[in-house]
Amino acid sequence: MQTRAARLTAVLTALLAATLLTSRPGVAAAPLTPRPAAAASLTEVTGFGSNPGALRMFRHDPPDLTANAPVVVALHGCGQDAGYAVDSGWTALADRLHFSVVVPQQSTANNLGKCFDWFQAGDIARGAGEAASIAQMVDRQIADVRGDASRVYVTGLSAGGGMTAVMMAAYPEKFAAGGVVAGLPYGCSDAAGGPYPCMYGWANQTPAQWGDRVRRARPGYPGPWPALTVFQGSADGTVKPSNMTDLVGQWTDVQGTDQSADVSDTVAGYPHRLYRGPSGRVVAETYGVTGMGHGQPVDPAAGCGSAAPYLLDVHLCAAGRLSDTWGLGLG
């Protein structure tokens, strides 16, 4: 049982993280609300498990969804809600490529800024809190739609990106890959002494130390570990670009390879890197979006996502690139 002082500390920490993740110069911090299309395309699911993290579950199932289709878990950022899955382009891609989308939603009762609690020890451990609630949503979705348990993917923006790394670490057997957008390495808040120094890249860990944090999240797990893709704006003043470097260090170490890119090229004019594991499989991938601030890249002109606060039109669509990388349109 938490003491009153401990509860107050937790609330203040949540307030700090919410402020940091929802405020930056020149961008409104107002919460995003689902447009009419979002309300029509997302269905709430209740009774999906014990739900220790007290989250809400929404989903999008295309009308022509067949058995053994992939499942994508999409985690919104601070101040956002389940409508993120619509605005980021995931639901439209699901209709086109025939997969389903699970959309966890945070509440102000858990976090005043509606941030997923990627920095709270009780929410990032296997079998506990918000991480356990999201895992239960995955199990419910696979059972309901007879989804392919070997083709489940997780992605998220900002605090949702931090929670994406949590799910990859705490439940690696559930996810084939993860996409972190402007997010943080697993265990970053603990490593840095709090969410603020974590976000500013002050954790000061070696790749092996980062990797050890993941391995401790799932002791004795033999693999395979999920592959990682990261999108990060070079001008992000909220989650510093060094977090992408730390994510690569963490997950290449977990995958047993070095931190030197095997492929360096450009996509849509932006730096793109691929890192291969010992078997030659791509285990990490990065998109450094030059000049982009804090947010997720979208490309409305290409029919992928909509420009909105923290959904930034830079002619590159994170959801589209991830769907290609994960082969969501195949079989």
Helix axes 90-97, 318-325, angle to 10 degrees: 40
Residue type, 283: V
Q: How far apart are the first and last CA of the chain?
A: 49
Q: Which among 65, 64, 60 is positioned nearest to 41, based on CA atoms?
A: 60
Spatial CA neighbour of 262 closest among 240, 242, 284, 295: 284
> 213 is written with which tokens?
């944090």
**Which member of 88, 158, 189, 323 is catalytic?**
158
Task: Report residue 138: phi and psi, to 5°.
Answer: -60, -45
Residue 216 has a CB neighbour count (10 Å cut-off) of 12
240-265 b/e with 16+ CB inside 10 Å = b? bbebbbbbbbbbbbbbebeeebeeee
158 catalytic residue (yes or no)? yes
Please tell me the distance from the alpha carbon of residue 164 to that of residue 257, in angstroms, as a whole number.
21
**Other CB atoms within 10 Å distance of the CB of residue 11:** 12
- Please return the burial class of 220, using the count of CB atoms within 10 Å of its CB with bins 0-12, 13-18 and 19+: exposed
Catalytic positions: 158
